[in-house]
Chain A
């Protein structure tokens, strides 16, 4: 039946796909902080090059990344515009009421624009090249310290994995119920707000019921196979560091050094 894309993962075979999910998640996370080390043209150039290399490394078409940035475009432009018109300092080109157009403003606006865009692009690289389940496993690993203060990290990660696992199932179920109701003459796509929200009941109620049934069945099936909580469970998907991960870490360390030296 219909295959759907969970999250934004796009299958591929480039080297970056082989990087360990933990490494990718960690680098993405640290990149957000590292970008604040950039404060002049050379450092932003280095950060942009790093992002560009990562994007090229995915071997995917450019529009994938544009799709990642698109939802944020307004926010980025708005923030950049604030920087553009409200910063003072440097040469004043234009002054009207509270608005200033200054050389510092222009530079700051460009920097803010780059900072935002690069962060989004790097996280897009991570999400399109890493399977959602692997991200969930990596999160569990990153959250390990919380275990020591009594947070049930393993259970939470299991909940997340199960949720991800059932996204396609529920999607199929939704489609199926929607089709069944459409066949009975239900109309989900016309009428005003009230009519549309009423039309949703024949979809939501069966979906709710089948989700509960699926959940109960799953719980029974898990208990039947001896699941009693997570202490001492081994795992089926084992994340393991590979030599490629040195490349991932190495590239990031080089980025950090360059940012520090040039900044």
Chain B
């Protein structure tokens, strides 16, 4: 199985003075069980594209095939509930979606909607509460008593608790401290390694370099490139032209190269950079 977009376009507010193209003839095919990064500067259509993965937005034209569903402009919303269980979305600042009286009930909301019994939902909720790194002791607290970072984790647990086959995340680590950020991304990577697809919308090129297998680059509602992280980060000038950047390690290596110390192949991650440097100096001596 794969995730296929065929000539997908989306128009906001069609036939009004506010009509605007959100997606413009986007086609690609993604392999399942990979970690996919979706990048592009603000307003490039990343979020619009993301909402097509579980048909919160339906294409104005074109066709999407994923998780055993076919989504066309005429697909009925009521036929999509099973899709929502398999493909889930974590929006930016998901802590805004908390509403229940206890943390546990909030995490169990999704599983219950998708047909788990109360007992099963509670069990899943407890499991995911721990997985996102929160102590069991907060299970019966109100989510509104928690800190911002903890609320974020509760919200993410609430989406992962029904264990969707495809998990799409829009800047899930925005505003978290470095430790929290690292922990979150490791959690998503581990989730992907256990046989799920993770699609990460991000502005952080280090996350792309560290975690992604595959990269989609969006611009003006169009798919600019679909390639691997090592390919996309090769051309610094191209990245800057499109409002993107390189991972810190590549940036560092580029500056070393400018000052007469080229490291090849180009390192993307800090680990790779360290290895290249060690090899260079050891080899040089």
Which residues of A pack against B, CB within 8 Å? 1-5, 10-11, 173, 176-177, 179-187, 189-190, 201-202, 205-206, 209-210
A180 touches B89 (CB 8 A): yes
Closest to A205 in B: B99
Nearest Cβ in chain A — how far from B278, in angstroms? 45
Q: Residue-by-residue, is B118-150 near A (CB-CB < 8 Å gives 1, otherwise 0)? A: 000000000000000000000000001000000
Contact flag A187-B81 (CB < 8 Å), given A176-B96, A177-B96, A205-B99: yes
9 A–B contacts, CB within 8 A, in A order: A1-B12, A176-B96, A179-B91, A183-B91, A185-B84, A185-B162, A189-B78, A201-B99, A202-B99
* Residues of chain B contacted by A2 (CB below 8 angstroms): 12-13
A206 touches B84 (CB 8 A): no
> Which 9 pairs from chain A and chain B are nearest by CB?
A185-B113, A3-B18, A205-B99, A184-B110, A180-B97, A183-B89, A202-B99, A185-B114, A179-B56
* Residues of chain A contacted by B89 (CB below 8 angstroms): 179-180, 183
Provide the bound-state CA to CA distance between A183 and B20, in Å: 24
A187 touches B113 (CB 8 A): yes
* Residues of chain A contacted by B16 (CB below 8 angstroms): 5
Provide the bound-state CA to CA distance between A186 and B84, in Å: 10
Interface size on B, residues (CB 8 A): 32
Closest to A186 in B: B113
Count CB-based A-B contacts (< 8 Å): 72
* Residues of chain A contacted by B98 (CB below 8 angstroms): 206
* Residues of chain B contacted by A201 (CB below 8 angstroms): 99
* Residues of chain A contacted by B250 (CB below 8 angstroms): none
Q: Residue-by-residue, is B77-109 near A (CB-CB < 8 Å gives 1, otherwise 0)? A: 110010011001111001011110000000001
- Given A182-B84, A183-B54, 14 additional A-B pairs, CB 8 A: A3-B13, A4-B13, A179-B51, A180-B89, A180-B91, A180-B94, A183-B89, A183-B90, A187-B81, A187-B113, A189-B77, A189-B78, A202-B99, A206-B99
Provide the bound-state CA to CA distance between A180 and B78, in Å: 17
B96 touches A180 (CB 8 A): yes
Which residues of B pack against A, CB within 8 Å? 12-13, 16-18, 20, 47, 51, 54, 56, 77-78, 81, 84-85, 88-91, 94, 96-99, 109-110, 113-114, 144, 158-159, 162
Partner of B97, one of A4, A177, A189: A177
Nearest Cβ in chain A — how far from B270, in angstroms? 34
* Residues of chain A contacted by B162 (CB below 8 angstroms): 185
Partner of A10, one of B17, B47, B54, B158: B17
Which of B94, B97, B158: most chain A Cβ within 10 A? B97
* Residues of chain B contacted by A206 (CB below 8 angstroms): 96-99
Nearest Cβ in chain B — how far from A64, in angstroms? 11
* Residues of chain B contacted by A185 (CB below 8 angstroms): 81, 84-85, 110, 113-114, 162
Closest to B89 in A: A183
Provide the bound-state CA to CA distance between A173 and B92, in Å: 12
Closest to B93 in A: A176
Partner of B159, one of A1, A10, A183: A183
Provide the bound-state CA to CA distance between A177 and B97, in Å: 6
Provide the bound-state CA to CA distance between A2 and B84, in Å: 22
Which of A176, A181, A184, A190: most chain B Cβ within 10 A? A184
B97 touches A181 (CB 8 A): yes
B97 touches A184 (CB 8 A): yes
Partner of B56, one of A3, A182, A209: A182
Nearest Cβ in chain A — how far from B2, in angstroms? 22
Provide the bound-state CA to CA distance between A187 and B112, in Å: 12
Provide the bound-state CA to CA distance between A144 and B108, in Å: 55
Closest to B91 in A: A180
* Residues of chain A contacted by B18 (CB below 8 angstroms): 3-5
Closest to A189 in B: B77
Provide the bound-state CA to CA distance between A180 and B91, in Å: 7
A209 touches B51 (CB 8 A): no
Nearest Cβ in chain B — how far from A224, in angstroms? 20
